Structure 1
Amino acid sequence: MSTKEATARIKINKLLEAAGWRFFPEDGRPASIFLEPVIALRGDDSESLGDGFQNTRRGFVDFLLVDSKGLPLAIVEAKAEDKNPLVGKEQARKYARSQNCRFVILSNGNLHYLWDLERGNPYVITSFPTEESLKSFQRGLSPNPRRLADELVGADYIVLTQRPTYEAEAGWRSQAERASYIRANSLRFLRPYQLRAIHRLQDAIRDNKDRFLFEMATGTGKTLTAAAVIKLFLRTGNAKRVLFLVDRLELEDQAKKAFTSLLSADFNTVIYKENRDDWRSAEIVVTTVQSLLFNNKYQRLFSPTDFDLVVSDEAHRSIGGNARSVFDFFVGYKLGLTATPRDYLRRFDQRNASDPREVERRLLLDTYRTFGCESGQPTFRYSLLDGVREGYLITPTVVDARTEVTTELLSAEGFVVSFTDDTGEDQHETFKQREFEKRFFSDSTNHLLCKTFLENALRDPISGELGKSIVFAVSQNHAAKLSQILNEMASLLYPGKYQSDFAVQVTSSVSDAQQFTINFANNRLCGSGNFLPAYKTSKARVCVTVGMMTTGYDCPDVLNIGLFRPIFSPTDFIQIKGRGTRTHSFTEQLLDRSTLGELSHPEKTSYKLFDFFANCEYFEAEFNYDEVLKLPRRKDLVDLYTGGGEPTVIDGAYEHLGTDILSTVREETIGGAGMKIDRMFFERFGETVRENSEIVAAVEAGQWDRVIHYVNQDVFDKPDEYYTLAKLRKAAAVDRRVSLREILEKVFGLIPQFKSKDELLEEEFVKFVADHTPDEAEAISAIRHYFKAYLTSATVREIVDQRRLTALATNPVLSTRDFKAVPPRYRTLVPEYIKDYVSLNQFAA
């Protein structure tokens, strides 16, 4: 047996044991693994495996997995490490049929597939299924993709679950009463485009696809569409249990309530963390990715076959980073939902690694690839413009309003502050857009932005008061400041009407903030009908938030959105814009229509998006604003740091210029655990961030942009510890450059340990092979070496990219012989793949 075969065997043994399979009787339970065809272990723990048990007539041993009664459940077809597991596919099928096995596991120790012979194609898995999982899967599911494709799905598909007899009821049969009957029973009919989405999925199933991606604009009812898809799979017997993944804590409750409202007559929905002991009794399980990641819960408590359909809400967020491992763990059908179109990727130069959009570019590309849409064409697409054209959505009136400070700050050069230092030398410091968040919000700037917003915002068409508005602030402190200013202005503008209820801070540090968002949507935040008693609208007119009201928040009567901060994430930008796109008739809020007479414009036809920081220009290279407000020059707008005078620079870096010199220098290699002082430094950092309520709340909500922002702003470079990313990387003692997000995931227990460079390389290679399995199985070893060399060596990348292949003759990382061993198509495929999907930065030392 070769070294590669032995290594594969060791890895496969460990994977089987980790999934609870037994080579020998144990704790009164019989052995559940048999080695075929050399020896049988049935019940005899004294039986010797023999010297030649690894070798068979076909070259490498197979495993037969049986249940507690000794009945065959699955076979494992094992290949050496340098072989593609799929080469044993037909051989395994034949053997499985002879043993009356439905399941086959194909593995070379590194790459594994689970194949349900009654279902279709093998799926990549990251761990082996348990005995109970396979038995449950076999017992409860008789998949029939034909039924999926042929099921009739009409506009009333969900309504037939909500109220099966609706067509026979008087309220429906009466045309005059029908609208009020639908509202009273909360019936949800599928819109034509939602039906098209489901029919496209059925077409994809006919083409033997098992991964689907719906790209649907915010406000188009992705959750309703997902509910119809879930019913389709459960009703046709192609799923016995569905996992619905969200990336934020508040979306768990929202999804659970939605599915309960839509499907509870036929199917039970639970949130996993609230039903840890009996989640298996539900057909629909909702959870955050973070919950499953915590201490590798998804591997410890679940099996790959526990869910037959996995739906990923806001897909490129909920499967980004380490969360991808959760998604890949489960086999079966996969549906991704996203509101972020891939189109924006064409608007910036992907070679500019410093562009903040680059991270999301990779996430989006990976999302499309994950859901089988490498071409960039999702299974179904319905854009904002589609929704506007068909009358379901509205576009904003975008208002460009900038102060002199923000204009300079947002220029290519940034904001330059000139000053004279203590030595008399002239100096200047440039502050770019990100630094605005920390240093450039003076009271005068905030007052001017609030004044501009109030004077130009849309009014409620019925009451005439300020239309309901959402303002997005930089931080919780900034949100508190804006709320105070808006309330002070409202007291002057509307004497006696509001008692500091005009603007409400809605951030994670505020008690009952989540309930505030619900009350605002239901028009009872701080009261209702403040101007007209017969009109139900929230007394509070402005919610000031940071990130709580972005994804999935539905408040159709919002008329104004204020961007009081720069935005760097395309997803955040699209989600925030989407808060105002829903259509609405304000007459629905009238308690007594007769008291108001005829209303001239009761329908919402537009909303205003106040862009104080050129966010639209940032995401749309040539953006034509609907309104441009030239703000007055104010002397105190540049009075940013003190009560008066010229601006100065604060928080400057300290450089030691003393006369001390080093007398000796000694080098010492630190082991994998790092120095004790480094470990203590890392532990103190962990304690610091875990004590920060804002950071904890943002981690629990899966809002990683906010988490990283808080750490950069409130934790890094502060006195006492002076935590920095560079110091934390050193303390982590990993042989590569870990990201701040990885460090925080480790601190909060979302990952058990940092992956080494080699583990990460192998993980990336497995993903590559899963998508681009070579026909030449014997070439896998050469492709792996080429993949890793290109990924880790700047010299190799330069040689390959510039086609200076003769230089490989003397290259120690990748030789000419190594390169020639790579099949020709992979010589260009590997570099293209890495440029699109893999971040080079994480492999730097």
Structure 2
Amino acid sequence: MLSKTTLSERDICTKYITPAIENAGWNKFSQFLEEVSFTDGKIYVKGKLTARGKQKRADYILYYKPNIPIAIIEAKDNKHSVGAGMMQGLEYARILDIPFVFSSNGDGFLFHDRTAENGIIETELALEDFPSPAVLWARYKQVKGLTSPVATKLAEQEYYLDGSGRRPRYYQQIAINRTVEAIAKGQNRILLVMATGTGKTYTAFQIVHRLWKSGVKKRILFLADRNALIDQTRKGDFKHFKDKMHIVEKHQVEKSYEIYLALYQGLTGTEAERNIYKQFSPEFFDLIVVDECHRGSARDDSNWREILQYFHKATQIGLTATPRETTEISNSEYFGEPLYTYSLKQGINDGFLAPYRVVRIGTNIDLDGWRPEAGQTDIHGRPLEDRVYTTRDFDRTVVIKERTELVARKITEFLKGHNRLAKTIVFCVDIDHAERMRSALANESPDLVKADYRYVMRITGDNDLGKMQLENFINPEEKYPVIATTSELMTTGVDAQTCEVIVLDNNINSMTKFKQIIGRGTRINEEYGKLFFTILDFRQATNLFADSEFDGDPTRVKEVGEKDDLGVIEDEEEQATDDDQPILDDVTGQPVEFSTPEPPVPVVGEPKIRYPQGGGQGGTGGDKRQKFYVNGVDVTILLERELIFDEHGKPVTIKLTDYARQKVQEHFATLDEFLTTWQTSDRKAAILQELQDQGVPVEQLKDAVGRDVDLFDLLCHVAFDQPPLTRRERANNVRKRNYFTKYGAQARSVLEALTDKYADHGLDELDSLDLLSAPPFTGIGSRLEIVQQFGGKPQYLKAVQELETELYRTA
């Protein structure tokens, strides 16, 4: 009989752990799963190529009900102790929000109760003493406070499954369960913070369905502030409510439905319109879901907040990717601290969100500023104030035609090198800027515009034709529009699954707005090849990536209405957009921008020039800023570089080689330690993958040090100051030592050809037998004949490994 210590981990699971679970009363088909992958694996981008990292995978997850994961088991083979898997199990349990953890090697179980606040936390159990579902469920209900029959019924209510096999991801499951359990215990204000692209609406649907199906909540209102959001919700995840669902429209109130979708603007506005929501009694709705709650409803004195206060007896759930916390606006003060947060960084690391590349492009006038010549006027003959204009002014108060054309040209150049049909959103300062950018981009791609005028379109709040094309833009199956120029309309709530390029040509002073814009590119669509996206930044807006608040918990800061040292109010667009004024983009067709004119900043000692406020020449709709249009300015590119990010998603601000040295030395303290690991690593891939996981940009290092330098020399040079040899120098050194003379003529010719391959391309394919089916090896013999020259395949592979060692011998 085989000893238990000779069995593999999988054999231990099959012969000992699974039978123990089943004997305790757990149903294999509905109550536990084996080898459960709960992440997709981080996406790594290398040029235009992508690769998936490893998925996180638990050996067992136990479910009391399909929607309630209750325990996790980590298994080890019998050479390990019974508790050897506990640390891994606890880490997975923390991520998955699972209370009970078991570790086993087939001899028994070590049980860890994460809910225990005092007393014994860990206990050893015999195989036959594994707890039953009823035992763990009773403990779960006790610690969660689900003591009443109603609370238990609500907690046990299962998800809606449509037969497609789609189930909530682990983080959605946590958000759903925490919300349902909190409501079961009587909590009436709930805030969920989930990064854009992580499925907030699907999460909301599952919450609403469980509450509605259980009978705990009978009339539900889903509130949003844009028609696009309502349409996406109605046609998307909420479509399963069918004839139970109704969209509230102006002057039309129906009270016979159970699920209501409504625009804030459809319930507020004029005094007559405000009566619409008051036609419902304050007790009519018992659940309200507020989508994008960082917007109008976050402000205490907004008209939109009045709706929530009118239905104050209803349970209210706020959903956002970017909670707002300022001295004047607070999501957490109204809804409470977030019940659950799933961040952009978590989503990217788990492989559920697309990673991003950042390319910064700076023009001479962006980086150095532009000062008009003495007495210079704009194209309308109006004198320009004599001062230095910066990116804060461009397209807001001063429009320089050559800058717009240069930005359009650089966008087009990028798309030509990437994919001219890649869905692209260009975020502009205002509607006027978006129209001029559309025209400039059209002029850069006349062939594609001739093929279909929708190749580039302005999609803004005042443009009905553009808004009609918004659904086509976000539909992966629709080819056109390809490029959308916009200002505010597409900053939030637009589910652009295949958007591959985000262009920032506006001044972003708000972290909330920045996160929302970046979120337009974070969705993954593998069917259409969308696995990452690129940010082209013309205004240094990506400096916000370095802000400590970018992916952290919200803090109360002065974000809106902050005056600078010249008395200028910052972030006026954000203030106007997010206060109690309606978002007019797709409701009334009026322009979105409500900014007041910015007072000119005079040069010290110069007389001030006063201009009348108002639209003036060049004004657009509701845009009241005075704009000056200037031609004939020399605009050139001074800076173009790709930003590198560390493993925490923060931009690397130190010298690239210094950053790489730091990261390599964190793993290999000495050169000897590195050499030992290199010689024992299988195909050197382990080192490369580990360094890439830590954010070391190997491809960019090759550009900095030299692409004819092997990875080995590259790392030795960067981390340990070793003089780098090129691959060809290493190949020549092997020949000088007459290493090949110990082999026969044909074997020697094969190894010499392999050495040439190394000199040209490196080690990537050196031990691949497929290499022998291509020139120059086909001129030596067939694959079988070549291998036989070494005495067989094992001997051939050994010879190749010895060649690799010889190539690095000088180290």
Shorter-chain-normalised TM-score: which range? 0.3 to 0.5
Q: What TM-score comes out, normalization by structure 2 length?
A: 0.47
Q: What TM-score comes out, normalization by structure 1 length?
A: 0.45
